[in-house]
Amino acid sequence: MVDSKKIGVAGAAVALVTILTIFGTSYMSDFDTARTSTTDDGVKTLELKQAPVLGSEAATVTIIEVGDYQCHMCKLWFEETRPQIIENYINTGKANLIFIDMPFLGSDSIPASEATYCANDQGKYWEYHSMLFTYQEDEIDGGWASATRLQAFAFNLGLDIEQFDKCMTTDDHYARVNYNKQVAVTEFGANSTPTFMIVNTLSGESQRVVGAHPYSTFEEVINSLI
Amino acid sequence: MNNIFGLVYSNPSYILIAIVIFLLLFIPLIIISEFLFFEPFFVFSIYPETTLSFSLIVTLSSLSSLAVSMNIYRVKLIKETKKIGSSIVGTVIGASAGACSCGPIAFSVITTFGTAGSIASSFLTIYEIPIRLASIGILGIVIFVTMKSLTRECRVKF
């Protein structure tokens, strides 16, 4: 009887230690990657030239966001930090923003990313991007980004639904989304969302920011790169 | 009940144990939940939407530190380990909630276990608050039972 109690306590303790170890190693490996990625070359910015750009293409600083439309922390960043960056850096022409898809959280993530490029075909990438984060719901694959809802978002933005549907059913942009995911993981070393690469497009100097950091972090990093 | 707190924490080593357990839980949990960042520099931030989550982490860490330290005292006193196990179980449940979200742990779990990992990650993300509340409930019960037990044991001893 006593032995079973001891085994139970030992098992629970081992579980706790294992969880803490996993937490620790996951985050420490993240820091290692972050350190090795801070000195970038021009290749990464070259890859991103086909991506829709928010802001002036001539801006000195490019903020590359790696995200998943079902990621809650991406939504938090979208709502809390992004508006201040847009106001102070993008609208003033100092920086621009690029979004790289890393759809990994659920099966609806890939169609959601594809839908943004179908909207881009009709010139409404950023409007669709914003709509997805605005209407994101808590439950991953809970239906908020189902085919019907994606079509409804397109309808609300006044897109040509026939063209949008054709784009979605024929998976026109599947390869692009998949490529972006590979770039996010292999080129940027992203293993979580949101991950940001802030690059001075003239010097190639860059800084990686992992997580939904507050505006102060971006302000400091961008100012150091301008 | 106050007498029990006074009895346990009159020994500074139990205060130290409680502080160490609190920090061992609190720091990893606020890193995982993206309240604390070390890269590119040290940043601590709480958004209005995440205040509840932060409060639950503080509560969970505090109750875990109380439950475990009081039970270590109890184990030394009466050599029984049942409730320390319950408090560790409560702590594990609470620590597991919210560990996934969009962070590197979720990425590892999903890339390793595929759809099953995605479902598990999604479950922990959606029910983060209820799971933490459940673990706080478990820890509350453990502390209450431990205090009652210590009151009874101490009466017998003295």
Task: Answer yes or no: do B39 and A208 touch at CB < 8 A.
Answer: yes
Could you report the per-residue pLDDT of A168-188, keeping only the tens digit for each?
Answer: 999 889 999 999 999 898 888
The whole domain housing B60 covers: 2-157
A155–chain B Cβ distance below 8 A for any pair? no
Confidence label for A49 from pLDDT (cuts 50, 70 and 90): low
Q: What is the ipTM of this complex?
A: 0.75
Which distant-in-sequence residues (6+ apart) come within 8 Å of A192 by Cβ? Answer: A30, A210, A211, B102, B103, B104, B106, B107
- For the cut 60, the answer to whether the pLDDT of residue A161 exceeds it is yes
Domain count, chain B: 1
Q: Which fold has domain A40-225?
A: Glutaredoxin (3.40.30)
Chain B environment of A101 (Cβ under 8 Å):
none
pLDDT of residue B99: 58
- Asked whether the beta carbons of residue B104 and residue A212 sit closer than 8 angstroms, the reply is no
Note the pLDDT tens digit of each residue in B145-157.
888 877 776 665 5
Q: Within the 110-149 window of chain A, which residues sit less than 8 Å (CB to CB) from chain B?
A: 138-141
Q: How confident is the model at residue A6 (pLDDT cuts 50, 70, 90)?
A: low
> Does the CB of B139 have a partner CB in chain A at under 8 Å?
no
